[in-house]
């Protein structure tokens, strides 16, 4: 009890011995039962919207299954129940079961019809709630992806701005100080002053190198030359720093990519190489780049010790999680697989027109 019911009933030549409304009122507070006696009228009335549909198996011009087939079935169609008055044989029963209707109630069970409808409506409500939750989740996910796009775009802008300031302001100031120290060194004969100038020059050189390293970590200027030169530089730098054998492979000297995709691809390779240094203990790394079949594919694989058990499922794997989010922000995806002896990180980004993935607008 506690629920109203609006039902459309396609009545056959022989209707139930007791009025359906009386049967349903036992289990529902308020019953509105609309009766029709033809398939055409059933189809016309069905557009008005009902909680459930009922149909006798034998109806004028066809069967209850024909009435079911007249309806437009969405992802969660309203319950449809066929009522059998001893007019169904074995073949007809099979036809009903295969049709997709919600339930078939035989004459001897008509007294349980209200209970059957209640259970069907509970299932329908649960499915409807799940669909709404899924839709809300999609909206939330799209909002998160849009936020990720905006966040990383702003981060890249800030990185570029900070790198430029370091180069123009700090780098320029340090270079000027270096020239001044050189000027002092040329004009003094005092041994103590010369020693202090040399010490200051060495410290200054360390500061210059540190500022250059910070600028490169923020955003290498070589990215403006394109992804291929930037990755070649990154691989060479990594190889000199670690001593590991690194092979860079790309069948083109240049790839025409939008800046967002270039930045994501560069970040993936840099993060993968960082993981090689921190965890893999690898002696050989392969960086393979291609744009075959309209998809940019960037793979970084090593011959290291592989991943620890369930490492990819760790909640603290923020590096990989961040890279996955970045890949999705440009319409791509990231795959990480443990090869047993080594790990493979693969970025894939469709390049159809190099237009970043447009997310659907939030539904009301």
Domain identity same for 114 and 231: no
Cα separation of 298 and 348, whole Å? Answer: 7
Tell me the C-alpha to C-alpha distance, in Å, between residue 119 and each of 49, 98, 103, 107, 126: 20, 21, 11, 19, 11
- Reference 345, options 295, 285, 292; nearest CA is 285
Residue 340 lies in a domain: yes
Domain identity same for 117 and 256: no
Tokens of 290: 């291609």
Q: Whole-structure pTM over 0.75, yes or no? A: no
Domain identity same for 235 and 344: yes
Domain identity same for 236 and 361: yes
Tokens of 360: 């659907």
Residue 287 lies in a domain: yes
Cα separation of 344 and 285, whole Å? Answer: 10
Tokens of 241: 């720093």
Strand (E) or helix (H) holding 248: strand 245-250
Cα separation of 325 and 332, whole Å? Answer: 9
Cβ-defined contacts of 140-145 (< 8 Å, 24+): 142/359, 142/360, 142/362, 143/362, 145/325, 145/328, 145/329, 145/359
Cα separation of 183 and 197, whole Å? Answer: 10
Q: What is the structure's pLDDT at 17?
A: 44
CATH number of the domain enclosing 45? 3.40.50.2300
Q: What is the structure's pLDDT at 248?
A: 93
Residue 278 lies in a domain: yes
Residue 246 lies in a domain: yes
Tokens of 312: 């990819």
Chain centroid offset of residue 236 CA: 33
Residue 69 lies in a domain: yes
Cα separation of 127 and 73, whole Å? Answer: 14
Domain identity same for 232 and 364: yes
Residue 94 lies in a domain: yes
Residue 177 lies in a domain: no
Cα separation of 205 and 93, whole Å? Answer: 89
Domain count for the chain, please give it.
2
Chain centroid offset of residue 107 CA: 50
Cα separation of 37 and 61, whole Å? Answer: 10
CATH number of the domain enclosing 281? 3.30.565.10
Which residues on adjacent β-strands are paired with residue 54? Answer: 9, 81
Going residue by residue through the chain, which has 364 residues, state the pLDDT in tens, using 9 for 90 and above. 568 899 999 988 766 545 778 888 888 988 899 999 899 999 999 988 899 999 988 888 888 899 999 988 877 888 999 988 766 777 777 778 888 888 888 888 888 888 999 999 999 999 999 999 998 988 887 787 778 767 767 877 787 778 778 877 888 888 899 889 899 989 888 889 989 989 999 998 888 888 877 876 776 777 888 899 999 998 998 888 888 888 999 988 888 888 888 888 998 998 888 888 777 677 889 999 998 888 999 999 988 776 654 455 554 344 677 788 888 888 899 998 876 678 889 999 998 755 444 444 454 4
Domain identity same for 225 and 101: no
First to last CA, the chain: 32
- H helices within 167-242, ranges in order? 171-187, 191-218, 227-242
Residue 23 lies in a domain: yes
Q: What is the structure's pLDDT at 316?
A: 39
Domain boundary among 131, 146, 176: 131
The parent domain of residue 291 ranges over: 221-364
Domain boundary among 131, 161, 186: 131
Domain identity same for 19 and 124: yes
Cα separation of 34 and 17, whole Å? Answer: 17
Domain boundary among 87, 113, 131: 131
Tell me the C-alpha to C-alpha distance, in Å, between residue 347 and each of 194, 223, 271, 344: 54, 18, 12, 10
Q: What is the structure's pLDDT at 363?
A: 43
Q: What phi and psi values does residue 102 have, to the nearest 5 degrees? A: -70, -40
């Amino acid at each position: 009890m506690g629920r109203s019911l609006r039902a459309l009933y396609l009545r056959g030549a022989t209707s139930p011995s007791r009025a359906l409304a009386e049967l349903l009122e036992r289990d529902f507070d308020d019953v509105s039962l609309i009766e029709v006696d033809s398939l055409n009228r059933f189809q016309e009335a069905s557009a008005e919207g009902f909680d459930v549909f009922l149909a006798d198996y034998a109806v004028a011009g066809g069967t209850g299954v024909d009435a079911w087939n007249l309806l437009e079935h969405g992802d969660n169609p309203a319950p449809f129940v066929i009522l059998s008055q001893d007019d169904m044989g074995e073949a007809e029963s099979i036809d009903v079961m295969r049709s997709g209707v919600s339930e078939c109630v035989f004459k001897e069970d008509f007294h349980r019809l209200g209970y059957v409808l209640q259970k069907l409506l509970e299932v329908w409500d649960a499915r409807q709630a799940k669909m709404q939750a899924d839709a809300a989740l999609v909206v939330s996910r799209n909002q998160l992806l849009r936020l990720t796009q905006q966040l990383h775009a702003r981060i890249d802008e800030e990185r570029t701005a900070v790198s430029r300031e370091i180069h123009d302001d700090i780098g320029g100031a340090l270079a000027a100080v270096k020239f001044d120290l050189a000027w002092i060194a040329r004009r003094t004969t005092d041994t103590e002053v010369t020693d202090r100038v040399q010490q200051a020059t060495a410290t200054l050189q360390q500061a210059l190198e540190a500022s250059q390293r910070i600028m490169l970590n923020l955003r290498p200027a070589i990215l403006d030359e394109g992804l291929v030169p930037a990755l070649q530089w990154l691989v060479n730098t990594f190889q000199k720093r670690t001593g590991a054998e690194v092979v860079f492979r790309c069948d083109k000297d240049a790839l025409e990519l939008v800046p967002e995709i270039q930045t994501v691809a560069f970040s993936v390779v840099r993060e993968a190489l960082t993981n090689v240094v921190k965890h893999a203990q690898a002696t050989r790394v392969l960086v393979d780049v291609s744009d075959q079949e309209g998809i940019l594919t960037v793979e970084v694989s090593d011959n290291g010790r592989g991943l620890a058990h369930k490492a990819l499922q760790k909640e603290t794997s923020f590096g990989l999680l961040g890279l996955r989010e970045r890949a999705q922000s440009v319409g791509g995806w990231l795959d990480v697989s443990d090869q047993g002896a080594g790990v493979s990180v693969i970025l894939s980004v469709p390049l159809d027109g190099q237009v970043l993935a447009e997310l659907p607008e939030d539904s009301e």
